[in-house]
Structure 1
Amino acid sequence: MWFFGRKKKLSQEDERESELKLTNEQNGIRLLNDDTKEKLLQLKSEVQKIEDFINIRIFALDDLENKQIGYSIDSDGNSLVSDEQGSWKSEWIVIGNEVLCGDPIIIDATKFGVPVSLLTHGMGDWTDGINLSESLDKFTNEIKSINNFIYKKAEQNIVPRITCRELDNLIENIIKDDKYGDADNWKSMLNQIYESTKEYEDNITKKVKKRYDDGVKIKEISDELNMNSKDIYKYLRRKIGG
């Protein structure tokens, strides 16, 4: 920008932003094409719908440059990328994090499908982590499947509305067509909904067992709790916290 024939002097903040932008262009951010950006927008939208149930967050596109600080660049804009074992790689782009520990969720924009991974802080290098999905598309669709499941369950007027076994089945369906799919990884990401579902099922179990111990017949318990008789028997056998 020119002002009275002279180039406007950049503030320290503007200079730092310019340095960060230049460094990011030299590292992974430059690999984000329009198609990948659109997919990241879709992923963020799907994750936001279930923020109360999932243990990850996806960053806004406008925040991605600053979110690389501490990974591909330091706070002064210097590159942290190197070819040394365990160092940050230039093709890695931080797109989000795990909520509890802040571990970075990354994509590798140079690989086919743009795979999604979760790396681990505090291990001395970046070789430790887990693969979440073989592609950005699949990861987004997997999150979408969870959204659809929760929405349908919320619309149903039955008891139990949701069970841990149904969550297990959902995860099995999600991972079966993803070579990086892992049930334990998904259960960790969905820990909130698992915990709330366990509590929900514990409450149902207590109600069923109390009414049964009070001498109420199975048919009457079924009518009272809007449950079918088969489920009543299941909850009579279920252990609290099971």
Structure 2
Amino acid sequence: MIFNNKIREKLLKLKNEAEKMEEFAEFKIFHPDELEGEQVGYSIDKDGNSLVSNEEGAWKSEWIVVGYEILCGDPIIIETNQIGYPVSSLMHGMGDWDSGIYLSDSLDKFTDGIIKINQFISEKSMANVVPRITCKDLDNLIKEIIKEDEYGDFDNWKSMLDPIYESTKEYEDNLTKRVKKLSEGGLIIKEISDRLNMSIKDTYKYLRRDVEV
């Protein structure tokens, strides 16, 4: 495993930021002190024997497992032989390691993306407005994150943030039901807006929004 102080510092920063948003994310990042043990089954077997070879589909010596995707357990790796240490997710259970997707063209950009998410959640949680967070807000945030990232992909980030998308959709569905119920009770849009501390524009939007009620 190719591991130096520079990589350690970057991974520690990533771990610290990833911890702040674990309840909203579909992935986990390891602490640098855990990395040696987390390579078992990838670059080494349980007895410490190397699984690295030059064969097609084999594990590469420059890969370090730094985390995993929660839903399917796919390892998240960095490529230490590339500038910036690109971040990828590899598919396990395929018989080789040829299948996977890039998550970011560098470890720094991946970390910066998570920092932006944390800042967004913090700012929104303190805002005295309704709706606090929308799925459209999350979409715009991802677009901002991937804008300067060559390997950044909207669907990949959205998948990694599935828990916050699910909770936000539930929040918006419940808000929609409240708006519709108040409207059915005879309140006009301005009255609903005042009751829920929403803008008139948002009140109208949620009144027209489709949801099972």
Say yes or no: TM over 0.5.
yes
Which residue in the other structure is 2:204 paired with?
A: 233
**TM-score where L is the length of structure 1:** 0.86
Quick one: distance in 2 between partners of 1:98 and 1:132? 12
- Give the letter aligned to residue 164 of structure 1: C
Out of 137, 155, 158, the residue aligned to residue 184 of structure 1 is 155
Offset of residue 213 of structure 1? 1.2
Out of 63, 75, 86, the residue aligned to residue 115 of structure 1 is 86
Offset of residue 236 of structure 1? 1.1
Gapped regions of structure 1 (runs ≥ 5): 1-28
Offset of residue 217 of structure 1? 1.1
Offset of residue 240 of structure 1? 1.3
Out of 82, 88, 93, the residue aligned to residue 53 of structure 2 is 82
Quick one: distance in 2 between partners of 1:114 and 1:173? 21
- Give the letter aligned to residue 41 of structure 1: L
Out of 174, 178, 184, the residue aligned to residue 213 of structure 1 is 184
Quick one: distance in 2 between partners of 1:170 and 1:130? 21
Offset of residue 82 of structure 1? 0.8
Offset of residue 152 of structure 1? 0.2
- Give the letter aligned to residue 210 of structure 1: K
Which residue in the other structure is 1:105 paired with?
A: 76
Which residue in the other structure is 1:141 paired with?
A: 112
User: 1:1-242 residue pairs with structure 2 within 5 A?
Assistant: 29=1, 31-240=2-211
**TM-score where L is the length of structure 2:** 0.98
Quick one: distance in 2 between partners of 1:60 and 1:163? 31
Offset of residue 191 of structure 1? 0.1
Number of residue pairs matched by the alignment: 212
- Give the letter aligned to residue 64 of structure 1: L
Deviations 1:99-134 (A, max 9, x none): 122110000111000100000111111011100000
Deviations 1:143-183 (A, max 9, x none): 00000000000010100000000000000000010000000
- Give the letter aligned to residue 120 of structure 2: F
Quick one: distance in 1 between partners of 2:127 and 2:33? 38
Work out which of the two has the higher radius of gyration on C-alpha atoms and give 1 or 2. Answer: 1
Identity of matched residues, % = 64
Quick one: distance in 1 between partners of 2:78 and 2:108? 12
Indicate the SS of the match to 1:52: helix
Gapped regions of structure 2 (runs ≥ 5): none
Quick one: distance in 2 between partners of 1:61 and 1:82? 24
Quick one: distance in 1 between partners of 2:81 and 2:111? 18
